[in-house]
Amino acid sequence: MMDSLEKMGQQAQAAERELSQLATPVKNQVLGQMAQALRQNQAEIMLANQHDLNQATDLPMNFVDRLTLTAQRIEQMALGLEKVASLPDPIGNIEKGWQTEQGLKIEQQRVPLGVIGIIYEARPNVTADAFALTFKSGNAVILRGGKEALQTNISIVEFLQAVLKQNGLNPHAIQIVQDTSHETASEMMQLTDYIDVLIPRGSARLIKAVVDQAKVPVIETGAGNCHIYVDEFAQLDMASQIIVNAKTQRPSVCNAAEKIVIHSAVAQEYLPKIAEALKPFNVELRGDERAQAILPDITPATEADWGTEYNDYIMAIKVVDSLDEAIEHINHYNTKHSEAIVTDNYEHSEQFLNQIDAACVYVNASTRFTDGFEFGFGAEIGISTQKLHARGPMGLNQLTSTKYVIRGNGQIRH
Amino acid sequence: MMDSLEKMGQQAQAAERELSQLATPVKNQVLGQMAQALRQNQAEIMLANQHDLNQATDLPMNFVDRLTLTAQRIEQMALGLEKVASLPDPIGNIEKGWQTEQGLKIEQQRVPLGVIGIIYEARPNVTADAFALTFKSGNAVILRGGKEALQTNISIVEFLQAVLKQNGLNPHAIQIVQDTSHETASEMMQLTDYIDVLIPRGSARLIKAVVDQAKVPVIETGAGNCHIYVDEFAQLDMASQIIVNAKTQRPSVCNAAEKIVIHSAVAQEYLPKIAEALKPFNVELRGDERAQAILPDITPATEADWGTEYNDYIMAIKVVDSLDEAIEHINHYNTKHSEAIVTDNYEHSEQFLNQIDAACVYVNASTRFTDGFEFGFGAEIGISTQKLHARGPMGLNQLTSTKYVIRGNGQIRH
């Protein structure tokens, strides 16, 4: 019998009380045993995955690809669990501490957020990855994955829960919503009594739906529309290396560059060069009228282009007459994810860093570095594009809150 | 003509671009001039206030009291502006900085949240206080105060805007919603394109309404139901001083104590003492059956009592047989605001600090210290009782976000 969402919420809160007090070595040992459990039960997980794949005959190839588990992908999931076990535990850290004039000793201590809900699409690797991060940071998690991956997800969760039970721990540290109807997803988004924060992971459409519907606080992740601004004082070779990398190294991800903004003083010289550099990757170029005048073969860019995240081998070019105009254009159309300037002018670099409103702002580097691993966080649950709570790559620390612990000896307020 | 909310949002965003780049001395100078402007125009502000008071004939006395401005209260508003001018500016601070293996220099820099919406009741002092904090932290603010204070609020805002204009600054750093209908309030809560965060200030009912309706992210503040747990190892005299202070020093506020939880081993001895100590303050005591057995004159507490914030000279008593039972009771009924244990037992103090889920957890001190001024933040916009973004007293730092600034020399991702 399936548990109701409310029951799952109660169970998660009960597990959370235990999790918040769990010693770091216990958490690490559990994660290590879970990695082994996934490896040992690889065949059974792949069988469950096969059931899902048998139902997925009408779905697009890239969808089926993301749904498919191979021995290698299960090994990656296991390595992910082991990696998180090796990361420092943020819980209990003292962020700040001071003594007041009346002699109260105040400490700001890191504590778990509580119960985290993750809503995601049919990518079974998210199941183990999201659990590892929420568990290590002392949170209980309720997962709601895409219905096409349900059998795979149930199988993974059962093996993880078995390890919790073997260690005498509450298995409800991880739960998966088995009723994958839209109604249940909506209900989960209203579960303010039990879920402290929702993190949607997936397409812009999924994230927007959650933000629009949820009463539970949401952390928005992942929508990108990154720009590379080629300044009049740019090293043009460097600009080409950065643009080619930011566009083509992995075009489907949110930190890939979608737009070139270029100063008119160098557009005539540079646009043919970058077009040439992108040619081997079959990048379709679009452009405004001034870009088209220089590159007559490119597609005209429409207003819709400037706000679009292509996630594909497409790039649009905007020609501007000043850094101010570039900053205005970028701040207007970006998703506040990652933006870069290529320049050798100090003042321009500082102005860009100060005035661009985004989670990550770069000088002379590829936007592809916006990533928890590249930032040295060891892992990430997503890239937050909102300003509240967490901004940019979210590692273990970003899955926590704090509380003030105050020790006195009888102080009263006057 | 009144501006539409959407127009106000656009204006706030335009002002915010300027505010986010404003130098600290300019902000401080403006705040100082505003303090002077309030003092110089005291008569005119009080005239506007008189218009509001003339309409408020049917309202309860304490409501009218909060609405009334006196010369002294206007001076307090002016002093508040000057106080915020004297506080350190968080914007531009580097929270963390490091270099990656590839040589990228990453800095996490403090930036404003953006546009903050404040929804509050008919307390005109909030108008200047909220502006000072949002302005100093580089944010634009849209205020929506109680309709009964509208003329007073408009008058205050006009004087503040005049100072902005005199300094060549965008006056839309502060705007007040003049249409005080419920529809406009609801519309403001949906204004996700323009408002980055909403902070409701006022009664539990107001806050709940905003949390329930808003699509804009909300920071919940102010609901309190604070407990003092008198452990079997408490110094009973200290317990009395703390309880009397936490209950009676200012009973109407959210960090006042509403409940006594007491260990059965000391209940027989202690309850008559605390009843005696509270008698001079006319505190009505309520209690569970075991408390009633010891204090036969008190009112029986109902289930509803345990979850109620009285904000009045009322206190309910719960007798428990263990620290575990006390913690369970408090975690079940509290609003996650402020909780205290009185004990001389080290292990009990640590267990209480670790296991109580609240913004502030005290050993041997009054819950009344949960306050931005007492914590040394210099000012506060409220006490956050949520776990996301900010928890506990919210000063200038809690009104900011961060961004990552990354300086490279041509790095691309491999």
Domain boundaries, chain A: 5-221+390-407, 226-369
CB nearest B361 (choices: A242, A355, A406): A406
Query: Do the bridges between strand A314-320 and strand A382-384 make them parallel or antiparallel, or are there none, so unpaired?
Result: unpaired
CB contact under 8 A, A411 and B369: yes
One-letter amino acid for residue B22 of the chain = L
CB contact under 8 A, A361 and B211: no
How would residue A266 be classed by pLDDT, with cut points 50, 70 and 90? Answer: very high
State percent of chain B over pLDDT 90: 90
**CA geometry: angle B150, B256, B285, nearest 5 deg:** 120
Q: What rounded mean pLDDT belongs to chain B?
A: 96
Give DSSP secondary structure letters for A315-361: EEEEEESSHHHHHHHHHHH--SSEEEEE-S-HHHHHHHHHH--SSEE
A189 Rama class: left (phi>0) / alpha (psi -120 to 50) / beta: alpha
CB contact under 8 A, B412 and A387: no
CB contact under 8 A, A235 and B410: yes
CB contact under 8 A, A98 and B376: yes
If you measure CA to CA, which chain B residue comes closest to A235?
Answer: B410
State mean pLDDT over B197-208.
Answer: 88
If you measure CA to CA, which chain B residue comes closest to A218?
Answer: B217
Which residues of B fall within a CB distance of 8 Å from A349? Answer: 407
User: Tens of pLDDT along B174-183?
Assistant: 999 999 998 9
State mean pLDDT over B61-85.
Answer: 94
How near does any CA of chain B get to the CA of A149, in Å? 30
How would residue A134 be classed by pLDDT, with cut points 50, 70 and 90? Answer: very high
CB contact under 8 A, B363 and A406: yes
State mean pLDDT over B132-158.
Answer: 97
CB contact under 8 A, A360 and B413: no
State percent of chain A over pLDDT 90: 90
Which residues of A fall within a CB distance of 8 Å from B100? Answer: 369, 374-376
In this structure, what token pair is assigned to residue B122? 């008919």
A282 Rama class: left (phi>0) / alpha (psi -120 to 50) / beta: left
How many interchain CB pairs under 8 A, A with B? 195
CA dist., res. B261 & res. B325, Å (int): 10
CB contact under 8 A, A363 and B406: yes
CB contact under 8 A, B412 and A354: no
The second-level CATH assignment, the architecture, of A5-221+390-407 is 3-Layer(aba) Sandwich (3.40)
Decide if B301 contacts B287 (C-beta within 8 A): yes
State mean pLDDT over B361-390.
Answer: 95
How near does any CA of chain A get to the CA of B282, in Å? 20
Please say if the pLDDT value at position B58 is more than 60: yes
CA dist., res. A339 & res. A360, Å (int): 7
CB contact under 8 A, B197 and A387: yes
C-alpha distances out from residue B16 to A84, B31, B214, B372, Å: 39, 17, 22, 25
CB contact under 8 A, B242 and A412: yes
Phi, psi of A261 (to 5 degrees): -110, 130
Decide if B82 contacts B34 (C-beta within 8 A): no
One-letter amino acid for residue A155 of the chain = S
CB contact under 8 A, B406 and A359: no
Please say if the pLDDT value at position A222 is more than 90: no
Helices (H), B1-60: 5-19, 24-40, 42-55
B221 forms bridges with which residues in the sheet?
Answer: B384
Decide if A242 contacts A365 (C-beta within 8 A): yes
CB atoms within 10 A of CB B181: 10
Of B176, B92, B19, B71, which Cα lies nearest the Cα of B397? B92
C-alpha distances out from residue B267 to B244, B325, B370, Å: 17, 15, 27
How would residue B1 be classed by pLDDT, with cut points 50, 70 and 90? Answer: low
CB atoms within 10 A of CB A397: 15
Label residue B131 exposed, middle or buried (CB < 10 Å: 0-12, 13-18, 19+).
buried
User: Tens of pLDDT along A357-390?
Assistant: 999 999 999 999 999 999 999 889 999 999 999 9
Query: Do the bridges between strand B105-112 and strand B400-411 make them parallel or antiparallel, or are there none, so unpaired?
Result: antiparallel
CB nearest B412 (choices: A219, A361, A366): A366
CA dist., res. B389 & res. B400, Å (int): 10
User: Mutation test of the interface with chain A: which of B369, B385, B391, B397, choosing the one with the most A Cβ atoms within 10 A?
Assistant: B369
Does the CA dihedral B380-B381-B384-B387 come out positive or negative?
negative
CA dist., res. A324 & res. A306, Å (int): 17
CB contact under 8 A, B21 and A355: yes
How near does any CA of chain A get to the CA of B386, in Å? 9
Which residues of A fall within a CB distance of 8 Å from B366? Answer: 411-413
The pLDDT value recorded for residue B212 is 86
Query: B38-42, B80-84, B213-217, B224-228: which has the minimum mean pLDDT?
Result: B213-217
The rounded radius of gyration (Å) of the Cα atoms in chain B is 24
CB nearest A358 (choices: B197, B249, B403): B403
Phi, psi of A111 (to 5 degrees): -130, 165
CB nearest A376 (choices: B100, B391, B411): B100
If you measure CA to CA, which chain A residue comes closest to B353?
Answer: A405
CB nearest B365 (choices: A212, A246, A411): A411
The pLDDT value recorded for residue A348 is 98
**CATH T-level assignment (fold) for domain B226-369:** Aldehyde Dehydrogenase; Chain A, domain 2 (3.40.309)
The pLDDT value recorded for residue A1 is 54
How near does any CA of chain B get to the CA of A391, in Å? 7
One-letter amino acid for residue B271 of the chain = L
CB contact under 8 A, A388 and B197: yes
CB contact under 8 A, A391 and B408: no
State mean pLDDT over A326-335.
Answer: 97
State mean pLDDT over B141-157.
Answer: 97
CB contact under 8 A, A407 and B364: yes
CA dist., res. B199 & res. B214, Å (int): 11
Q: What interhelical angle do B42-55 and B150-166 show, nearest 10?
A: 160
User: Mutation test of the interface with chain A: which of B403, B407, B414, choosing the one with the most A Cβ atoms within 10 A?
Assistant: B403
Please say if the pLDDT value at position A396 is more than 80: yes
Whether ipTM tops 0.90, in short, is: yes
The second-level CATH assignment, the architecture, of B5-221+389-407 is 3-Layer(aba) Sandwich (3.40)
If you measure CA to CA, which chain A residue comes closest to B195?
Answer: A387
CB contact under 8 A, B365 and A412: yes
Which residues of A fall within a CB distance of 8 Å from B370? Answer: 404
Please say if the pLDDT value at position B325 is more than 80: yes
Please say if the pLDDT value at position A262 is more than 90: yes
State mean pLDDT over B230-239.
Answer: 98
Which residues of B fall within a CB distance of 8 Å from A241? Answer: 410, 412
Please say if the pLDDT value at position B328 is more than 60: yes
The pLDDT value recorded for residue A71 is 96
Please say if the pLDDT value at position B225 is more than 60: yes
Helix (H) or strand (E) run with residue B117 in it:
strand B115-120
Which residues of A fall within a CB distance of 8 Å from B197? Answer: 387-388
CB nearest B391 (choices: A238, A375, A403): A403
CA dist., res. B163 & res. A150, Å (int): 61
The pLDDT value recorded for residue A203 is 82
CA dist., res. A220 & res. B232, Å (int): 47
Decide if B335 contacts B224 (C-beta within 8 A): yes
CB contact under 8 A, B362 and A408: yes
Of A198, A197, A234, A186, which Cα lies nearest the Cα of A349? A234
Q: Which residue has the tokens 């932290």?
A: B137
In this structure, what token pair is assigned to residue B111? 């930036």
In this structure, what token pair is assigned to residue B303? 């289930």
How near does any CA of chain A get to the CA of B387, in Å? 6
The rounded radius of gyration (Å) of the Cα atoms in chain A is 24
Which residues of A fall within a CB distance of 8 Å from B386? Answer: 217
User: Tens of pLDDT along A161-201?
Assistant: 999 999 999 999 999 999 999 899 999 999 999 999 999 98
CB contact under 8 A, B391 and A375: no
